[in-house]
Amino acid sequence: MRKLCFILFFCIISLLGGHCFAQNVFLNKNVNTDTIVVGQPFDYQLYMTVPKDYYVEWKQFGDTLSKSIDVIEAGDVVTTPISNSDNVKMTQNLKLTSFDTGYVYVPSIEIVYSTSIKDSIRHKLYTGEYELYVTTVAVDTTEAFRPIKDVLRQGATTKEVLFVIVAALIIAGAVYLFIYLKKHKKDTEAVVVEKKKPTIPAIVTARAKLAEIKDSEAWKSLNTKDYYTNLTDIAREYLDGQFGIEAVEMTTDEILQAVRALNINEIAKDKLQETLILADFVKFAKANPSAEQNEESFKETSYFVEDSYAYCQEVEKKKKEEEAK
């Protein structure tokens, strides 16, 4: 009888001990929003209360939490003592985003802990999933488009500075060696003059590519992103060949700034601006213009090409007339 009572007493103590153990450990999350615009960062905070002597295997985050949730930044885990208690509070701030649209889910996050680092028994806690609604960027074509801001560049790191210095030394050495060998070379080499191939005028190339788009009625295609990429590439190559603006490597803001400096029709400049900015919305913000808007962008690009070329021809004609006087 005593033995049976002892066993029952031990079981009750074990159950109470396990309950108290579970009560000392808490894991939760705090999210600052339930709706974001596609690509918009939002804060996701993990916080855990645990006895200070416990061992916690805190999760190491990569670039993603799931196929729908990207990790922009994972802050350090901060441990703070709780006053009048043997517990501590552990927190970590995550900055997340999503490039999908509609309802997505931040997955449940698992934290593993034990009573000590030597304890082989591991316990797990979960935050649970979190539902998030991701909206698209609304494009109001009745309002004027705002220019896209340039990418901010952070200061150079020590590694980047050292790389530039080493590269400069190597180039300087190569230049010096080339000059030295050239001065002391005894045998003269025959100079081969290559005939330059005739360059196709930029206006000819632009007209041919625009004609292809018109013949195929590409603005009706469902692949809007490829359509606007081809359209803006034509404009960029034309600006490079006709005006010497290296638009292929420029951002939209840089192109518009360079075009504004040209002494051409202001209406043509505005039409080019509308097409380039709408193209950026399609390529980077997943905007989906109508077929009518796509066709209008084609007409605006064609208008810019023809009007600016006509102006160049008029300027060249006046110049020749003045030289002939």
Mean confidence (pLDDT) of the chain = 83
Q: Is the pLDDT of residue 196 over 60?
A: no
Which pLDDT belongs to residue 324?
80
- Tens digits of residue pLDDT in 240-257: 988 888 888 899 889 888
Find out whether 268 and 308 touch, Cβ atoms under 8 Å.
yes
- Tens digits of residue pLDDT in 96-127: 999 998 999 999 999 999 988 888 899 999 99
pLDDT-derived band of residue 17, with 50, 70 and 90 as boundaries? Answer: very low
Find out whether 225 and 124 touch, Cβ atoms under 8 Å.
no
CA angle 78, 125, 40 (to 5 degrees): 60
Helices (H), 217-265: 224-243, 252-260
Q: Is the pLDDT of residue 13 over 50?
A: no
For 241, the token pair is 């060949």
First vs last C-alpha separation in the chain: 130
- Tens digits of residue pLDDT in 167-188: 999 999 898 888 888 877 755 5
Q: Which amino acid is at 9?
A: F
Over pLDDT 70: what percentage of the chain? 85
The better pLDDT of the pair 200, 12 is held by 200
Three-class DSSP category at 52: coil
- 220, burial (CB in 10 Å: exposed 0-12, middle 13-18, buried 19+): exposed
- Tens digits of residue pLDDT in 57-90: 898 889 998 999 999 999 999 999 998 888 999 9
Q: Is the pLDDT of residue 42 over 70?
A: yes
pLDDT-derived band of residue 6, with 50, 70 and 90 as boundaries? Answer: very low
Q: Is the pLDDT of residue 287 over 90?
A: no
Q: Is the pLDDT of residue 310 over 90?
A: no
Domain residue extents for the chain: 24-135, 202-324
Which pLDDT belongs to residue 197?
57
pTM of the model: 0.40
The better pLDDT of the pair 322, 172 is held by 172
Least trusted range by pLDDT, from 124-133, 143-152, 274-283, 314-323: 143-152
Q: Is the pLDDT of residue 91 over 90?
A: yes
For 112, the token pair is 């593993």
Find out whether 97 and 72 touch, Cβ atoms under 8 Å.
yes
Three-class DSSP category at 128: coil
Pairing of strands 78-81, 70-74: unpaired
Which pLDDT belongs to residue 289?
86
Fold of domain 24-135: Immunoglobulin-like (2.60.40)
- Nearest in space to 113 (alpha carbons), one of 136, 130, 88: 88
- Nearest in space to 114 (alpha carbons), one of 21, 10, 48: 21
Over pLDDT 90: what percentage of the chain? 28
- Tens digits of residue pLDDT in 125-139: 999 899 999 998 766
